[in-house]
Structure 1
Amino acid sequence: MHQQSAGQLPAEVLAAFQDEQQQLDAAGIPAGVATVGSVMPDGDLLDAHGEPTTLTAARNGRPAVVVFYRGAWCPYCNIALRAYQEQLQPALATRGVALVAISPQTPDGSLTMQQTKELTFTVLSDAGNQIARRLGILTAPTEPVRQAQAALGLDLTTVNADHTPALPMPAVALVDTAGVLRWIDVHPNYATRTEPAAVLAALTTLD
Protein backbone atom coordinates (compact mmCIF):
# COMPACT_ATOMS: atom_id res chain seq x y z
CA MET A 1 0.00 0.00 0.00
CA HIS A 2 2.84 2.42 0.84
CA GLN A 3 4.61 1.64 -2.41
CA GLN A 4 1.43 2.13 -4.39
CA SER A 5 0.68 5.46 -2.72
CA ALA A 6 4.20 6.74 -3.30
CA GLY A 7 3.81 6.14 -7.00
CA GLN A 8 0.30 7.54 -7.43
CA LEU A 9 -0.33 10.42 -5.01
CA PRO A 10 0.78 14.02 -5.59
CA ALA A 11 3.89 14.85 -3.58
CA GLU A 12 2.16 17.42 -1.33
CA VAL A 13 -0.68 15.02 -0.56
CA LEU A 14 1.70 12.19 0.24
CA ALA A 15 3.75 14.50 2.47
CA ALA A 16 0.65 15.49 4.47
CA PHE A 17 -0.25 11.85 5.09
CA GLN A 18 3.31 10.93 6.03
CA ASP A 19 3.61 13.85 8.45
CA GLU A 20 0.37 12.86 10.14
CA GLN A 21 1.44 9.25 10.46
CA GLN A 22 4.70 10.35 12.11
CA GLN A 23 2.74 12.52 14.54
CA LEU A 24 0.42 9.63 15.36
CA ASP A 25 3.37 7.31 15.99
CA ALA A 26 4.94 9.90 18.29
CA ALA A 27 1.72 10.44 20.26
CA GLY A 28 1.09 6.72 20.72
CA ILE A 29 -1.94 5.10 22.32
CA PRO A 30 -4.20 7.59 24.20
CA ALA A 31 -4.15 7.37 27.97
CA GLY A 32 -7.91 6.99 28.23
CA VAL A 33 -8.37 3.78 26.24
CA ALA A 34 -10.75 1.35 27.94
CA THR A 35 -9.06 -1.30 30.02
CA VAL A 36 -9.44 -5.05 29.93
CA GLY A 37 -12.10 -6.13 32.39
CA SER A 38 -14.39 -3.17 31.73
CA VAL A 39 -17.80 -3.53 30.11
CA MET A 40 -17.74 -3.10 26.34
CA PRO A 41 -19.63 0.10 25.40
CA ASP A 42 -22.67 -0.10 23.17
CA GLY A 43 -24.88 2.35 21.32
CA ASP A 44 -27.69 2.85 18.85
CA LEU A 45 -26.25 1.41 15.64
CA LEU A 46 -27.49 0.62 12.15
CA ASP A 47 -26.94 -2.59 10.26
CA ALA A 48 -25.88 -2.78 6.60
CA HIS A 49 -29.53 -2.38 5.56
CA GLY A 50 -30.07 0.72 7.70
CA GLU A 51 -32.09 -1.11 10.35
CA PRO A 52 -31.61 -0.13 14.02
CA THR A 53 -29.53 -2.53 16.11
CA THR A 54 -26.88 -2.65 18.80
CA LEU A 55 -23.57 -4.41 19.27
CA THR A 56 -25.20 -6.57 21.92
CA ALA A 57 -27.90 -7.64 19.49
CA ALA A 58 -25.32 -8.36 16.78
CA ARG A 59 -23.35 -10.55 19.19
CA ASN A 60 -26.55 -12.44 20.09
CA GLY A 61 -25.03 -13.93 23.22
CA ARG A 62 -21.76 -14.87 21.55
CA PRO A 63 -18.25 -13.66 22.25
CA ALA A 64 -17.12 -11.33 19.50
CA VAL A 65 -14.11 -9.84 17.79
CA VAL A 66 -15.06 -6.21 17.13
CA VAL A 67 -13.13 -4.36 14.44
CA PHE A 68 -13.20 -0.56 14.31
CA TYR A 69 -12.39 0.81 10.87
CA ARG A 70 -12.49 4.27 9.33
CA GLY A 71 -14.62 3.59 6.28
CA ALA A 72 -14.83 2.09 2.82
CA TRP A 73 -12.88 5.08 1.45
CA CYS A 74 -9.78 4.04 3.45
CA PRO A 75 -7.52 1.69 1.45
CA TYR A 76 -5.81 0.42 4.59
CA CYS A 77 -9.21 -0.54 6.00
CA ASN A 78 -10.11 -2.40 2.82
CA ILE A 79 -6.90 -4.42 3.00
CA ALA A 80 -7.53 -5.23 6.66
CA LEU A 81 -11.16 -6.26 6.13
CA ARG A 82 -10.20 -8.59 3.30
CA ALA A 83 -7.48 -10.15 5.45
CA TYR A 84 -9.91 -10.64 8.34
CA GLN A 85 -12.45 -12.23 6.00
CA GLU A 86 -9.88 -14.69 4.66
CA GLN A 87 -7.76 -15.36 7.74
CA LEU A 88 -10.04 -14.77 10.71
CA GLN A 89 -13.66 -15.41 9.84
CA PRO A 90 -13.38 -19.18 9.24
CA ALA A 91 -11.51 -19.78 12.51
CA LEU A 92 -13.86 -17.57 14.51
CA ALA A 93 -16.95 -19.24 13.04
CA THR A 94 -15.60 -22.63 14.08
CA ARG A 95 -15.30 -21.40 17.66
CA GLY A 96 -18.69 -19.67 17.69
CA VAL A 97 -17.12 -16.21 17.93
CA ALA A 98 -18.82 -13.41 16.02
CA LEU A 99 -16.84 -11.01 13.83
CA VAL A 100 -18.30 -7.50 13.79
CA ALA A 101 -16.89 -4.46 11.98
CA ILE A 102 -17.95 -0.92 12.91
CA SER A 103 -17.37 2.38 11.10
CA PRO A 104 -18.87 5.89 11.41
CA GLN A 105 -20.03 5.88 7.79
CA THR A 106 -23.66 5.73 6.75
CA PRO A 107 -24.78 2.15 6.02
CA ASP A 108 -24.97 2.76 2.27
CA GLY A 109 -21.34 3.89 2.24
CA SER A 110 -19.72 1.67 4.86
CA LEU A 111 -18.95 -1.06 2.32
CA THR A 112 -17.85 -1.00 -1.28
CA MET A 113 -19.96 -2.99 -3.73
CA GLN A 114 -17.23 -5.63 -3.85
CA GLN A 115 -17.16 -5.89 -0.06
CA THR A 116 -20.95 -6.18 0.07
CA LYS A 117 -20.66 -9.31 -2.04
CA GLU A 118 -17.54 -10.79 -0.44
CA LEU A 119 -17.70 -10.09 3.29
CA THR A 120 -19.70 -12.56 5.34
CA PHE A 121 -19.35 -10.99 8.77
CA THR A 122 -21.55 -8.33 10.36
CA VAL A 123 -20.90 -4.69 9.45
CA LEU A 124 -22.48 -1.92 11.52
CA SER A 125 -22.69 1.87 11.30
CA ASP A 126 -22.05 3.89 14.45
CA ALA A 127 -23.32 7.39 13.69
CA GLY A 128 -21.52 9.75 16.02
CA ASN A 129 -18.82 7.23 16.97
CA GLN A 130 -20.65 6.43 20.21
CA ILE A 131 -18.66 3.29 20.96
CA ALA A 132 -15.30 4.61 19.77
CA ARG A 133 -15.69 7.69 21.96
CA ARG A 134 -16.49 5.62 25.03
CA LEU A 135 -13.59 3.30 24.28
CA GLY A 136 -11.25 6.28 24.14
CA ILE A 137 -10.13 5.69 20.56
CA LEU A 138 -11.76 8.67 18.85
CA THR A 139 -9.58 10.96 16.72
CA ALA A 140 -9.78 13.27 13.70
CA PRO A 141 -7.43 14.08 10.81
CA THR A 142 -5.20 17.14 10.97
CA GLU A 143 -6.15 20.19 8.90
CA PRO A 144 -3.36 19.54 6.33
CA VAL A 145 -4.66 15.98 5.92
CA ARG A 146 -8.24 17.22 5.51
CA GLN A 147 -6.98 19.51 2.75
CA ALA A 148 -5.11 16.59 1.18
CA GLN A 149 -8.25 14.46 1.38
CA ALA A 150 -10.24 17.25 -0.26
CA ALA A 151 -7.70 17.33 -3.08
CA LEU A 152 -8.50 13.64 -3.61
CA GLY A 153 -12.24 14.27 -3.56
CA LEU A 154 -12.90 13.09 0.00
CA ASP A 155 -14.85 15.15 2.55
CA LEU A 156 -15.42 13.21 5.75
CA THR A 157 -18.27 15.50 6.78
CA THR A 158 -20.29 14.19 3.84
CA VAL A 159 -19.16 10.58 4.33
CA ASN A 160 -19.65 10.18 8.06
CA ALA A 161 -23.18 9.70 9.33
CA ASP A 162 -22.86 12.54 11.88
CA HIS A 163 -21.34 14.98 9.34
CA THR A 164 -18.14 15.46 11.34
CA PRO A 165 -14.55 14.44 10.47
CA ALA A 166 -14.25 12.29 13.62
CA LEU A 167 -12.84 8.79 13.13
CA PRO A 168 -12.07 5.79 15.30
CA MET A 169 -8.47 4.77 15.61
CA PRO A 170 -8.23 1.36 13.94
CA ALA A 171 -8.67 -1.14 16.74
CA VAL A 172 -9.71 -4.71 17.43
CA ALA A 173 -11.46 -5.68 20.66
CA LEU A 174 -12.36 -9.09 22.02
CA VAL A 175 -15.60 -9.25 24.00
CA ASP A 176 -16.76 -12.26 25.99
CA THR A 177 -20.31 -13.63 26.25
CA ALA A 178 -21.04 -11.33 29.21
CA GLY A 179 -20.04 -8.26 27.20
CA VAL A 180 -16.77 -7.74 29.05
CA LEU A 181 -13.69 -6.49 27.22
CA ARG A 182 -11.09 -9.25 27.34
CA TRP A 183 -8.46 -7.86 24.92
CA ILE A 184 -7.95 -4.71 22.86
CA ASP A 185 -5.34 -3.66 20.32
CA VAL A 186 -5.34 0.00 19.22
CA HIS A 187 -3.38 1.44 16.29
CA PRO A 188 -3.16 5.25 16.46
CA ASN A 189 -1.31 5.18 13.14
CA TYR A 190 -3.96 4.03 10.67
CA ALA A 191 -1.27 2.71 8.29
CA THR A 192 -0.75 -0.27 10.61
CA ARG A 193 -3.37 -2.80 11.70
CA THR A 194 -3.93 -5.71 14.06
CA GLU A 195 -2.56 -8.88 12.50
CA PRO A 196 -4.98 -11.82 12.27
CA ALA A 197 -2.49 -14.02 14.13
CA ALA A 198 -2.62 -11.64 17.11
CA VAL A 199 -6.40 -11.91 17.25
CA LEU A 200 -6.30 -15.69 17.08
CA ALA A 201 -3.74 -15.76 19.90
CA ALA A 202 -6.00 -13.49 22.01
CA LEU A 203 -8.80 -16.05 21.82
CA THR A 204 -7.04 -17.94 24.61
CA THR A 205 -8.35 -15.26 26.99
CA LEU A 206 -11.82 -16.73 26.46
CA ASP A 207 -10.77 -20.19 27.68
Structure 2
Amino acid sequence: MPLQGKLDAFKFEFDTRLAPPAAVDALHRSVDELIASGAPDRALKVGDVAPEFTLPDPDGNPVSSKAHLARGPLVVTFYRGVWCPYCNYDLTALEEARSEIEARGATLVAISQQLAPNSRKSQRQNGLGFPILGDHGGEVAARFGVRWTLPDYLRVAHKTLGADLPQFNGEDSWTLPMPARYVIATDGTVVYAEVNADYTRRPEPLAMFPVLDQLARQRGA
Protein backbone atom coordinates (compact mmCIF):
# COMPACT_ATOMS: atom_id res chain seq x y z
CA MET A 1 0.00 0.00 0.00
CA PRO A 2 1.33 3.50 -0.80
CA LEU A 3 2.44 5.64 2.13
CA GLN A 4 -0.53 8.01 1.89
CA GLY A 5 -2.92 5.06 1.82
CA LYS A 6 -1.45 3.81 5.10
CA LEU A 7 -1.72 7.30 6.60
CA ASP A 8 -5.34 7.70 5.49
CA ALA A 9 -6.28 4.33 6.96
CA PHE A 10 -4.63 5.18 10.27
CA LYS A 11 -6.22 8.63 10.34
CA PHE A 12 -9.70 7.12 9.98
CA GLU A 13 -9.01 4.68 12.82
CA PHE A 14 -7.48 7.39 15.01
CA ASP A 15 -10.23 9.95 14.44
CA THR A 16 -13.13 7.53 14.85
CA ARG A 17 -11.94 5.08 17.51
CA LEU A 18 -8.59 5.78 19.14
CA ALA A 19 -8.68 9.45 20.17
CA PRO A 20 -11.13 11.48 22.28
CA PRO A 21 -13.44 13.61 20.09
CA ALA A 22 -12.29 16.85 21.75
CA ALA A 23 -8.67 16.06 20.93
CA VAL A 24 -9.56 15.18 17.33
CA ASP A 25 -11.42 18.48 16.97
CA ALA A 26 -8.40 20.36 18.33
CA LEU A 27 -6.04 18.63 15.91
CA HIS A 28 -8.28 19.38 12.93
CA ARG A 29 -8.68 23.00 14.02
CA SER A 30 -4.93 23.46 14.35
CA VAL A 31 -4.31 22.11 10.84
CA ASP A 32 -6.91 24.46 9.38
CA GLU A 33 -5.40 27.41 11.22
CA LEU A 34 -1.84 26.56 10.21
CA ILE A 35 -2.86 26.27 6.56
CA ALA A 36 -4.76 29.56 6.76
CA SER A 37 -1.72 31.26 8.30
CA GLY A 38 0.28 30.67 5.13
CA ALA A 39 3.14 29.16 7.13
CA PRO A 40 4.11 26.58 4.47
CA ASP A 41 4.50 29.35 1.91
CA ARG A 42 7.15 31.00 4.09
CA ALA A 43 9.33 27.89 4.27
CA LEU A 44 12.37 27.39 2.04
CA LYS A 45 11.45 26.61 -1.55
CA VAL A 46 13.11 25.19 -4.64
CA GLY A 47 15.84 27.61 -5.71
CA ASP A 48 16.58 28.84 -2.18
CA VAL A 49 19.93 28.17 -0.54
CA ALA A 50 19.66 25.77 2.39
CA PRO A 51 21.37 26.82 5.63
CA GLU A 52 24.40 24.82 6.65
CA PHE A 53 24.03 22.92 9.91
CA THR A 54 25.95 20.67 12.25
CA LEU A 55 23.77 18.64 14.60
CA PRO A 56 24.41 15.69 16.92
CA ASP A 57 23.25 12.20 16.08
CA PRO A 58 21.60 10.21 18.92
CA ASP A 59 25.05 9.13 20.16
CA GLY A 60 26.31 12.70 20.32
CA ASN A 61 28.46 12.57 17.18
CA PRO A 62 28.36 15.79 15.13
CA VAL A 63 26.89 15.48 11.64
CA SER A 64 27.67 18.26 9.18
CA SER A 65 25.53 19.09 6.18
CA LYS A 66 28.60 20.62 4.51
CA ALA A 67 30.53 17.36 4.87
CA HIS A 68 27.66 15.35 3.41
CA LEU A 69 27.23 17.76 0.51
CA ALA A 70 30.92 17.42 -0.33
CA ARG A 71 30.10 13.82 -1.24
CA GLY A 72 26.70 14.20 -2.90
CA PRO A 73 23.14 15.50 -2.51
CA LEU A 74 21.46 15.50 0.89
CA VAL A 75 17.88 14.46 1.62
CA VAL A 76 16.56 16.08 4.80
CA THR A 77 13.28 15.15 6.43
CA PHE A 78 11.89 17.02 9.46
CA TYR A 79 10.43 14.62 12.03
CA ARG A 80 8.02 15.67 14.78
CA GLY A 81 8.87 12.86 17.17
CA VAL A 82 8.56 9.30 18.39
CA TRP A 83 5.05 10.06 19.69
CA CYS A 84 3.70 10.79 16.17
CA PRO A 85 2.46 7.66 14.35
CA TYR A 86 2.12 9.51 11.04
CA CYS A 87 5.76 10.53 11.26
CA ASN A 88 6.81 6.96 12.02
CA TYR A 89 5.00 5.68 8.94
CA ASP A 90 6.90 8.35 7.01
CA LEU A 91 10.29 7.32 8.42
CA THR A 92 9.56 3.66 7.65
CA ALA A 93 8.71 4.55 4.04
CA LEU A 94 11.96 6.51 3.74
CA GLU A 95 13.92 3.59 5.16
CA GLU A 96 12.33 1.33 2.55
CA ALA A 97 13.47 3.80 -0.12
CA ARG A 98 16.91 4.42 1.38
CA SER A 99 18.78 1.99 -0.88
CA GLU A 100 17.29 3.73 -3.93
CA ILE A 101 18.22 7.13 -2.51
CA GLU A 102 21.78 6.04 -1.78
CA ALA A 103 22.09 4.36 -5.20
CA ARG A 104 21.50 7.81 -6.66
CA GLY A 105 24.45 9.17 -4.69
CA ALA A 106 22.49 10.94 -1.96
CA THR A 107 22.53 10.73 1.84
CA LEU A 108 19.40 10.72 4.02
CA VAL A 109 19.03 12.32 7.46
CA ALA A 110 16.08 13.17 9.69
CA ILE A 111 15.98 16.21 11.98
CA SER A 112 13.92 16.30 15.17
CA GLN A 113 13.64 18.46 18.28
CA GLN A 114 13.25 15.41 20.52
CA LEU A 115 15.86 14.28 23.03
CA ALA A 116 18.49 11.74 22.00
CA PRO A 117 16.98 8.78 23.91
CA ASN A 118 13.73 9.32 22.01
CA SER A 119 15.61 9.42 18.71
CA ARG A 120 17.39 6.19 19.58
CA LYS A 121 13.97 4.68 20.31
CA SER A 122 12.64 5.98 16.98
CA GLN A 123 15.58 4.51 15.09
CA ARG A 124 15.22 1.17 16.85
CA GLN A 125 11.44 0.82 16.53
CA ASN A 126 11.38 1.91 12.89
CA GLY A 127 14.46 -0.10 11.91
CA LEU A 128 16.24 2.95 10.53
CA GLY A 129 19.62 2.87 8.85
CA PHE A 130 19.86 6.65 8.77
CA PRO A 131 20.31 9.04 11.72
CA ILE A 132 17.82 11.28 13.48
CA LEU A 133 19.73 14.45 14.30
CA GLY A 134 18.94 16.52 17.40
CA ASP A 135 17.70 20.05 16.72
CA HIS A 136 17.27 21.39 20.27
CA GLY A 137 14.61 24.08 20.33
CA GLY A 138 14.09 23.75 16.59
CA GLU A 139 16.79 26.24 15.61
CA VAL A 140 17.56 24.55 12.29
CA ALA A 141 13.85 24.03 11.63
CA ALA A 142 13.39 27.77 12.11
CA ARG A 143 16.17 28.51 9.61
CA PHE A 144 14.37 26.32 7.07
CA GLY A 145 11.15 28.18 7.91
CA VAL A 146 9.23 25.13 9.08
CA ARG A 147 9.06 25.67 12.87
CA TRP A 148 5.77 26.82 14.39
CA THR A 149 4.37 27.33 17.90
CA LEU A 150 1.43 25.29 19.16
CA PRO A 151 -1.56 27.29 20.48
CA ASP A 152 -2.71 26.69 24.04
CA TYR A 153 -5.73 24.55 23.11
CA LEU A 154 -3.50 22.23 21.08
CA ARG A 155 -1.06 21.85 23.96
CA VAL A 156 -3.96 20.56 26.05
CA ALA A 157 -4.89 18.08 23.32
CA HIS A 158 -1.31 16.87 23.00
CA LYS A 159 -1.10 16.26 26.73
CA THR A 160 -4.40 14.36 26.58
CA LEU A 161 -2.93 12.14 23.88
CA GLY A 162 0.31 11.58 25.80
CA ALA A 163 2.45 13.87 23.64
CA ASP A 164 3.79 16.27 26.26
CA LEU A 165 6.37 18.08 24.13
CA PRO A 166 8.44 19.55 27.00
CA GLN A 167 8.94 16.00 28.25
CA PHE A 168 9.85 14.58 24.84
CA ASN A 169 11.97 17.54 23.71
CA GLY A 170 13.60 18.64 26.95
CA GLU A 171 12.53 22.27 26.59
CA ASP A 172 9.25 24.12 26.93
CA SER A 173 8.94 26.17 23.74
CA TRP A 174 6.00 24.03 22.54
CA THR A 175 7.27 24.28 18.98
CA LEU A 176 7.30 21.67 16.23
CA PRO A 177 8.51 21.44 12.66
CA MET A 178 5.89 21.12 9.98
CA PRO A 179 6.45 17.83 8.15
CA ALA A 180 8.95 18.76 5.46
CA ARG A 181 11.23 16.98 3.04
CA TYR A 182 14.06 18.59 1.11
CA VAL A 183 16.64 17.56 -1.44
CA ILE A 184 19.72 19.78 -1.34
CA ALA A 185 22.18 19.79 -4.23
CA THR A 186 25.93 19.80 -3.63
CA ASP A 187 26.09 23.59 -4.08
CA GLY A 188 23.56 24.03 -1.26
CA THR A 189 20.59 24.83 -3.49
CA VAL A 190 17.19 23.36 -2.63
CA VAL A 191 16.08 21.32 -5.65
CA TYR A 192 13.07 19.56 -4.07
CA ALA A 193 10.83 20.86 -1.30
CA GLU A 194 7.64 19.45 0.17
CA VAL A 195 6.22 21.23 3.23
CA ASN A 196 2.75 20.43 4.53
CA ALA A 197 0.81 22.05 7.36
CA ASP A 198 -1.35 18.91 7.52
CA TYR A 199 0.74 16.36 9.43
CA THR A 200 -1.38 13.51 7.99
CA ARG A 201 -0.25 14.24 4.43
CA ARG A 202 3.19 13.05 3.27
CA PRO A 203 4.70 12.67 -0.21
CA GLU A 204 5.73 9.28 -1.48
CA PRO A 205 9.53 8.93 -1.30
CA LEU A 206 9.68 8.07 -4.99
CA ALA A 207 8.56 11.64 -5.76
CA MET A 208 12.19 12.64 -5.13
CA PHE A 209 13.71 10.12 -7.53
CA PRO A 210 13.44 12.20 -10.75
CA VAL A 211 15.24 15.07 -9.01
CA LEU A 212 17.94 12.76 -7.68
CA ASP A 213 18.29 11.16 -11.12
CA GLN A 214 18.77 14.60 -12.70
CA LEU A 215 21.44 15.49 -10.15
CA ALA A 216 23.21 12.18 -10.84
CA ARG A 217 23.19 12.89 -14.58
CA GLN A 218 24.63 16.35 -13.98
CA ARG A 219 27.44 14.94 -11.83
CA GLY A 220 28.22 12.34 -14.47
CA ALA A 221 28.26 14.79 -17.36
Q: TM-score, normalised by structure 2?
A: 0.83
Match of 1:178 among 181, 187, 202: 187
What CA distance in whole angstroms lies between the structure 2 residues aligned with 1:182 and 1:31?
A: 16
Between 57-66 and 191-200, report the one with greater CA deviation.
57-66
Match of 2:11 in 1: 2
Residue aligning to 2:162: 153
User: CA 1:130–1:155 in structure 2 vs 1: closer, same or farther (change >3 Å)?
Assistant: same
For 2:207, which of 172, 176, 198 is the aligned residue?
A: 198
Query: Partner of 1:109: helix, strand, or coil?
Result: helix
> Residue in 1 aligned with 2:141?
132
Q: Structure 1 residue 205: deviation in Å?
A: 4.4
Unaligned runs of 5+ in 1: none
Work out whether 1:72 is the aligned partner of 2:82: yes
The answer to whether the Cα contact below 8 Å between 1:44 and 1:126 also exists between their aligned partners in 2 is no
Q: Is the 8 A contact 1:72 1:111 kept in 2?
A: no
Partner residue of 2:71 out of 61, 65, 79: 61
RMSD: 2.1
**Aligned 8 A contact 2:81 2:112 in 1:** yes
Q: Secondary structure of 1:112's partner? A: helix
**Partners of 2:67 and 2:173 in 1: how far apart?**
26
- In the alignment, structure 2 segments of 5+ residues that lack a partner are 1-9
The structure with the largest helix share of the pair is 2
CA-CA distance at 1:153 after TM superposition: 2.6
Once the two structures are superposed, residues 19-63 of structure 1 have per-residue CA deviations (whole angstroms, 9 ceiling, x without a partner) of 222223334454432233332113341102123333334555221
Q: 2:76–2:109: 8 Å Cα contact kept in structure 1?
A: yes
Distance in 2, Cα, partners of 1:115 & 1:55: 23
Q: Secondary structure at the match of 1:129?
A: helix
SS in 1 for 2:46: coil
Aligned-pair identity in percent equals 34
Please give the alpha-carbon distance, in whole angstroms, between the structure 2 residues aligned to 1:115 and 1:166: 25
Paired letter, 1:101: A
Distance, in Å, in 2 between the alignment partners of 1:162 and 1:53 is 22
2:105 pairs with 1:96: yes
Residue 166 and residue 58 in structure 1: after superposition, are their counterparts in 2 closer, same or farther (change >3 A)?
A: farther
Query: What letter matches 2:183 in structure 1?
Result: L
TM-score of the pair, normalised by structure 1? 0.89
**Secondary structure at the counterpart of residue 53 of structure 1:** strand
**Distance between the aligned counterparts of 2:26 and 2:74, measured in 1?**
36
Specify the code of the residue in structure 2 equivalent to 1:148: A
- Give the 3 Å change call, closer, same or farther, for CA 200–161 of structure 1 in structure 2: farther
1:107 maps to amino acid: A
Structure 1 residues 26 and 113: alpha-carbon distance in aligned structure 2, compared to 1, 3 A threshold: closer
Confirm or deny that 1:19 pairs with 2:38: no
Instruction: Quote how far apart the aligned CAs of 1:119 are.
Output: 0.6
The alpha-carbon distance between structure 1 residues 117 and 21, as it changes in their structure 2 partners (threshold 3 A), is: closer
